[in-house]
């Protein structure tokens, strides 16, 4: 064989190998979240149609008048596949318990807590993502993270006395200025395509929250200039850095756990339901989530962990840091006899210890077992349930998630309690955003429940036994 022919065959083989390598690289590229969602939507539309065809006319439990007067408590009225709250087991994300997602979801290199990116993927698709898919999601959010200059100016002009949640709501509302959904709707997009720009807005919303939250924290508490987002780091690491705690690996791990377990809690809690309700009017995800934040800011919802920490500090100031069980019991009874509740205990649905509380307790046992406040929380955990049962004060005498989170944040130096709900707000965006995407994909209608007057109720049951 001539040298020229050998050279030709060698170059030809090299070209074929290069082409094959390029093709293999393209085919091996991990499927993005939006691509996977586009594959799932037609199947889920058919699943919903089949479910309605088979069960749509069936009764789904009675409605009693007390439910109308009692805040619709327990009234079956919503569909959300992302998470379901079981009274005995606690929250399940797409059917998986908190211990299961702690085991199954991807972790950061060297970390042991689940990455919130993986939880968002799970909420949207019902599937556990790969490490590569989660890494790509981290990069995507970092690329979307910048907030408009006028939003920065809004936050910088807020007086530090304006509550951080009010500033948070203002900034999220202002992001509506660049809403992909609002623009697409104005341009006449087909309703079957609503989910696409909703997805883009939802991704932008989540991505921009760390910069908003970090700017609020540094403005209000005088922590200096905001550092830049690092595209090589995960979402929680960047948020921790913006807050000034990125050099503490344990705090970064805490944020990963915190965001994950606070991300969603069924569709009927105030923030989740508010986001869904406002979104049903085809308000874009920024407007919808700003409304959800205003609900989250209430003392019966997102402010509860702050109330717990205030109560614990008052207790310590009165009975000391290493009080006996008898002294703690006496303080608990004094709280109840004063007509107050023990904050962080009881839940509208749960009838056992909140698994989110347990996850945080296990974190504390691993990272801060000797912390004085944590020891008090554990002491209270051993005492309060029996006291509440004896007093007849609660159907569920067990602790919920709020009984623990403030103590963990305080341990690492984030002790500005009025800021805690902002972190809750960053977390809850994951569940609300996922729900808004699916509502638009499935063509969920405008919500319009029927209301009755007291006179109408009386008339309805007049002369009936």
Domain with residue 269: its CATH number is 1.10.580.10
Q: Average pLDDT, whole number, for the chain?
A: 91
> Is residue 178 scored above 90 in pLDDT?
yes
Residue 18 lies in a domain: no
Residue 434 lies in a domain: yes
Q: What is the pLDDT of residues 93-148, one digit of tens each?
A: 999 999 999 999 999 999 999 999 999 999 999 999 999 999 999 999 999 999 99
Kindly give, in sequence order, each residue whose CB lies less than 8 Å from that of residue 412, ignoring residues fewer than 6 positions away: 245, 248, 250, 251, 254
Distance CA 403, CA 61 (A): 33
Q: What is the mean pLDDT of residues 32-56?
A: 96
Residue 465 lies in a domain: no
In terms of domains, do 180 and 287 share one?
A: yes
In terms of domains, do 286 and 390 share one?
A: no
344 or 443: whose pLDDT is higher?
Answer: 443
Name the band, by pLDDT with cuts 50, 70 and 90, for residue 350.
low
Structure tokens at 217: 């924290």
Taking alpha carbons only, the member of 448, 329, 350, 339 closest to residue 398 is 350
Q: What is the pLDDT of residues 10-32, one digit of tens each?
A: 445 544 444 443 333 344 788 99
Distance CA 106, CA 385 (A): 35
In terms of domains, do 349 and 372 share one?
A: yes
Least confident of 67-76, 99-108, 270-279: 67-76
Q: Which of 402, 404, 411, 439 is catalytic?
A: 402
The residue with tokens 């200039």 is 225
At 305 the pLDDT is 82
Domain total of the chain: 2
Residues 192-229 as b/e (b if ≥16 CB within 10 A, e otherwise) read eebbbbbbbbbbbbbbbbbbbbbbbbbbbbeeeebeeb
Active-site residue 177, yes or no?
Answer: no
At 19 the pLDDT is 40
Q: Could you tell me the residue range of the domain that residue 198 belongs to?
A: 131-301+415-442
Residue 164 lies in a domain: yes
Q: Which of 262, 265, 273, 347 is catalytic?
A: 347
Active-site residue 402, yes or no?
Answer: yes
At 348 the pLDDT is 67
Contact by Cβ (8 Å): 171, 212 = yes
């Amino acid at each position: 064989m001539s040298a020229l022919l050998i050279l030709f065959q060698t170059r030809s083989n090299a070209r074929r190998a290069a082409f094959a390598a390029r093709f293999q690289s393209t085919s091996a590229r991990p499927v993005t979240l939006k691509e996977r969602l586009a594959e799932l939507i037609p199947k889920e539309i058919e699943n919903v149609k089949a479910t309605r065809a088979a069960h749509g006319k069936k009764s789904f439990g009675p409605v009693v008048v007390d439910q109308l007067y009692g805040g619709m408590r327990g009234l079956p009225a919503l569909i959300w596949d992302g998470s379901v709250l079981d009274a005995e087991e606690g929250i399940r994300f797409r059917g998986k318990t908190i211990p299961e997602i702690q085991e199954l979801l991807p972790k950061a290199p060297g970390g042991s807590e689940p990455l919130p990116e993986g939880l968002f993927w799970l909420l949207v698709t019902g599937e556990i993502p790969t490490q590569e898919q989660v890494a790509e999601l981290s990069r995507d959010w970092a690329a979307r993270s910048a907030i408009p200059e006028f939003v920065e100016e809004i936050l910088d002009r807020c007086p530090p006395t304006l509550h951080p949640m009010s500033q948070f709501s203002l900034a999220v509302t202002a992001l509506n200025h660049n809403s992909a959904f609002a623009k697409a709707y104005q341009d006449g997009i087909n309703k079957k395509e609503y989910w696409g720009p909703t997805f883009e807005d939802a991704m932008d919303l989540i991505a921009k929250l760390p910069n908003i939250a970090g700017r609020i924290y540094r403005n209000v508490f005088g922590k200096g200039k905001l550092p830049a987002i690092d595209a090589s780091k995960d979402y929680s690491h960047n948020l921790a850095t913006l807050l000034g705690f990125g050099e503490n690996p344990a705090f970064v791990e805490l944020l990963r756990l915190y965001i994950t377990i606070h991300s969603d809690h069924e569709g009927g809690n105030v923030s989740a339901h508010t986001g869904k309700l406002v979104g049903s009017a085809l308000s874009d995800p920024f407007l919808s989530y700003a409304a959800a934040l205003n609900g989250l800011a209430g003392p019966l919802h997102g402010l509860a962990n702050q109330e717990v920490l205030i109560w614990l500090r008052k207790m310590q100031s009165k009975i000391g840091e290493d009080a006996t069980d008898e002294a703690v019991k006496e303080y608990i009874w004094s709280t109840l006899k004063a007509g107050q509740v023990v904050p962080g205990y009881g839940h509208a649905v749960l009838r056992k210890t909140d698994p989110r509380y347990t996850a945080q307790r296990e974190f504390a046992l691993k990272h801060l077992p000797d912390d004085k406040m944590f020891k008090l929380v554990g002491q209270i955990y051993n005492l309060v349930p029996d006291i509440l049962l004896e007093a007849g004060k609660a159907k569920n005498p067990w602790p919920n998630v709020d009984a623990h989170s403030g103590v963990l944040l305080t341990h690492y130096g984030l002790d500005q309690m009025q800021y805690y709900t902002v972190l809750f707000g960053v977390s809850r965006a994951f569940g609300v955003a996922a729900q808004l995407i699916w509502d638009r994909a499935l063509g969920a209608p405008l919500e319009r429940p029927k209301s009755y007057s007291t006179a109408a109720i009386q008339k309805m049951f007049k002369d009936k036994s």
